[in-house]
Amino acid sequence: MNPRLSPLPSHVIRAWRFQGYLAVREVRDAWVVEDCLPASSFVGVAALALPGLRVEIEAVAVV
């Protein structure tokens, strides 16, 4: 794989409230290529798809 291309070119993170944003960002940063950052969104929402969920992640990966 070309080292300049990110294996995770885009993602959306939906979180129930913004608590934990820094922890989510730390985990995300471990998976992205620093000099080729992906398109990303972090959205705080009132509820998620299933009761009890705190985070939903939608991502496109290059394999």
Task: Classify residue 36: in a domain, yes or no.
Answer: yes
What's this model's pTM, rounded to 2 decimal places?
Answer: 0.66
Does a structural domain hold residue 39?
Answer: yes
- Does residue 16 form part of some domain? yes
What is the separation, in whole angstroms, between the first and last Cα of the chain?
9
2 falls within a domain? no
Q: Is residue 48 part of a domain?
A: yes
The helix/strand/coil state of 52 is coil
What total of structural domains would you count in the chain? 1
Q: Residue 53 domain-assigned? A: yes
The answer to whether residue 17 is domain-embedded is yes
Look up the domain containing 35 and give its range: 10-60
pLDDT of residue 40: 87
Residue 3 lies in a domain: no
Q: Could you give the dihedral angle defined by the CA atoms of residues 47, 54, 30 and 40, in that order, rounded to the nearest 10 degrees?
A: 0
- pLDDT tens-digit readout, 4-63: 556 778 888 888 877 778 888 888 888 777 777 888 888 888 888 898 888 888 888 877
